[in-house]
């Protein structure tokens, strides 16, 4: 466990020390040669190694035999292995930022495969598997105003109908006579409202066009001229009288006009039938899940109205078809005249339009459904489903030795990267998985909940959360993030930066308050929690191991017992980077300013200089 010294006995004593046994390092994520990478770390004395790859195709290139050999290496060296899964979007968004259920199901299947391969590395323990959350969706840009209050500058909404993303900005607009401030949340409400109104407006246009045609037909059948011509035609058919050619042509034109109107009425009626059903379906599908009592009451009242609308609609459609069929058969038997048939069908259609008007009025009074929802909410809902299904799969197959699914906060510019959102995701994933496990195993949800608390958690990356600095956040704000997530953290990633890029510096070489973050995390330390120090960029660029700097910064004890000296106290035994000198600084630095080496410091600084001259004297260029 980490040690805390609340009183300073020596100048170098601090409030935090982290033993080397709790620290670890990752393998290079760019290569499938993870067995070679693991051997390199074990040779340096590491006891905790995190294997994995960034790209899915690289991860899948790791041979199965290598996994078995890595398991043997860990057993021989009494070391621990964790896994960093490749970057896949657990919610189901593709690289273009569009969601689909097919993508989510494919990623869920991939995640189950990662669970199997990870378990092979440590069949006897609960191996932690870190998976990034929300990598495929841009998150909200949150800033602070002059009073220190947070507000959203930009957020994204997901169109649940097609899975696309819509940006919603915070703006201040100049209207006639006033200034209007639009928040992203207000824009979201307007977007949902306007989409719902547009759906209704389209149906209303169909209904209006249909009614105009029906009234045209009614004016024809009620016209005395039409009645006179129709009666004359019937008499002519019985052998009484005869229509002139002009009268026959006029009657034919009126009949054709009514027939054409009826065809269009049928088309509009078809559009209306489909549209009303779609409108009903979208309301039921996207009505949302209100949390406060007032909205719940509104939905309960609306649902009762909707039930009555459905019943009335089905009853009328059945009666309409029955009545229309009855009139048609009467006309076929010549029980009623053509004029009477036209009149009855026209009146029946007018009644149908009145019913449609009533239905649309009732549907229009329903609460606006949520066509669009915040990307955070949508991604959390879909990620929860993937994680819960993977946890169920793992527990069914491996029981108490199931791997730990640990969801990592990604960049603050992506969804689910803030502590509150990640905490909600973990809690909801545990709850959903507990329901599934309880049903599968025939146990109580409370008992299943204890299982999911063990196998689902969070990986907290202090370097990732530190990049909120570019949105105006201070260290105290970021420490509050860690405080919120601490009870759910199963795994920790440590790295340093300056808040503007994920630079993966060794600890102490940036301005991340790592020790303060660790102190918050230690208040709710999970058993066996490991701290993986991600500093891959440093050895890549400077060709030096970051381990000495990490040990010094974390004041790790030199010996296995904590009472001995720490690496910070032993800094004079080796060339420490953190105090400003060492063999890893460029030799040219000393050649340029001091003539090479500390033995030739200027006399002003206590050195011998060059003869009687200081390096800071001489020609003007010097």
pLDDT digits (tens, 9 = 90+) for 242-301: 888 888 888 888 888 888 988 898 888 888 878 878 888 888 888 766 555 556 666 777
Q: In the prediction, which pLDDT does 587 show? A: 52
- pLDDT for the residue numbered 557: 85
Which tens digit of pLDDT belongs to each residue from 389-420?
999 999 999 999 999 999 999 999 899 999 99
How many Å apart are CA 223 and CA 575, to the nearest integer? Answer: 108
CA distances from 554 to 4, 222, 381, 506, 508 (A): 12, 95, 38, 11, 9
Tokens representing residue 124 in the block: 């006897």
* Below-70 pLDDT ranges, the chain: 1-16, 288-298, 525-526, 560-563, 571-622
pLDDT at residue 282, rounded to an integer: 85
* pLDDT at residue 17 in the model: 81
pLDDT of residue 575: 53
Q: Is 289 left (phi over 0), alpha (psi -120 to 50) or beta?
A: beta
State if pTM tops 0.95: no
Q: What is the CA radius of gyration of the chain?
A: 37
Pick from 115, 109, 142, 110: which is nearest to 128 by CA? 115
Tell me: the pLDDT tens digits for 569-604?
776 555 555 555 444 455 544 454 444 444 555 544
How many angstroms separate the CA atoms of 526 and 530, rounded? 9
Neighbours of 541 (CB within 10 A): 9
pLDDT at 408: 97
Q: Which uninterrupted H or E stretch holds 143?
A: strand 141-144
Which single residue is written with the structure tokens 């060794």?
Answer: 506
């Amino acid at each position: 466990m980490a040690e805390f010294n609340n009183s300073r006995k020596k100048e170098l004593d601090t409030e935090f020390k982290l033993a080397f046994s709790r620290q670890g390092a990752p393998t290079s994520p760019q290569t499938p040669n993870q067995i070679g990478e693991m051997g390199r770390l074990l040779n340096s004395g590491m006891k905790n190694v995190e294997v994995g790859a960034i790209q899915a195709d690289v991860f899948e290139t790791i041979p199965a035999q290598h996994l078995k050999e890595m398991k043997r290496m860990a057993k021989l060296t009494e070391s621990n292995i964790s896994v960093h899964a490749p970057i896949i979007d657990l919610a189901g968004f593709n690289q273009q930022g569009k969601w689909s259920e097919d993508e989510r199901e494919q990623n869920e299947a991939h995640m189950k495969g990662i669970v199997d391969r990870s378990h092979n590395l440590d069949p006897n323990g609960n191996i932690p598997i870190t998976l990034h959350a929300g990598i495929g969706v841009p998150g909200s840009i949150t800033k602070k105003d002059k009073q220190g209050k947070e507000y959203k500058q930009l957020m994204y909404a997901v169109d649940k109908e097609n899975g696309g993303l819509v940006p919603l900005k915070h703006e201040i607009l100049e209207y006639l006579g006033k200034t209007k401030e639009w928040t992203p949340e207000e824009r979201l409400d307007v977007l949902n409202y306007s989409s719902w109104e547009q759906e209704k407006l389209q149906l209303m246009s169909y209904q209006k066009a249909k009614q105009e045609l029906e009234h045209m037909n009614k004016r024809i059948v009620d016209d005395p001229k039409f009645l006179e011509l129709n009666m004359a035609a019937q008499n002519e058919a019985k052998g009484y009288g005869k229509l002139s050619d002009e009268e026959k042509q006029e009657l034919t034109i009126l009949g054709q006009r009514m027939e054409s109107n009826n065809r269009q009425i049928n088309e509009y009626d078809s559009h209306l039938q489909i549209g009303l059903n779609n409108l009903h379906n979208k309301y039921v599908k996207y009505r949302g899940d209100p949390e406060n009592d007032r909205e719940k009451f509104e939905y309960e009242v609306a649902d009762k109205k909707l039930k009555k609308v459905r019943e009335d609609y089905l009853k009328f459609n059945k009666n309409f078809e029955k009545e229309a069929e009855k009139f048609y058969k009467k006309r076929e038997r010549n029980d009623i005249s053509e004029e009477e048939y036209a009149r009855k069908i026209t009146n029946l259609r007018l009644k149908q339009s009145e019913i449609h008007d009533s239905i649309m009025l009732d549907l229009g009074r329903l609460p606006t459904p949520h066509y669009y929802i915040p990307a955070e909410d949508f991604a959390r809902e879909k990620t929860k489903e993937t994680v819960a299904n993977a946890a169920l799969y793992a527990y069914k197959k491996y029981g108490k030795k199931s791997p730990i699914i640990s969801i990592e906060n990604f960049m603050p510019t992506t969804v689910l990267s803030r502590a509150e959102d990640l905490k909600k995701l973990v809690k909801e994933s545990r709850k959903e998985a507990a329901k599934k496990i309880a049903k599968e195993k025939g146990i109580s949800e409370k008992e299943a909940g204890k299982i999911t608390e063990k196998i689902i958690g969070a990986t907290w990356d202090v370097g990732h959360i530190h990049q909120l600095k570019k949105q105006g956040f201070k260290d105290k704000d970021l420490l509050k993030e860690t405080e919120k997530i601490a009870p759910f953290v199963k795994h920790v990633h440590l790295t340093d930066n300056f808040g503007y890029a994920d630079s993966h510096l060794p600890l102490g070489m940036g301005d991340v308050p790592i020790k303060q973050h660790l102190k918050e995390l230690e208040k709710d330390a999970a058993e066996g929690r490991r701290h993986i120090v991600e500093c891959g960029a440093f050895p890549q660029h400077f060709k030096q191991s970051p381990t000495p700097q990490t040990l010094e910064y974390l004041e790790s004890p030199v010996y296995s017992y904590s009472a001995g000296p720490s690496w910070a106290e032993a800094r004079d035994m080796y060339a420490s980077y953190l105090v400003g000198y060492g063999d890893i600084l460029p030799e040219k630095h000393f050649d340029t300013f001091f003539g090479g080496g500390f033995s030739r410091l200027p006399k002003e600084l206590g050195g011998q200089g060059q003869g009687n001259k200081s390096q800071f004297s001489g020609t003007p260029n010097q």
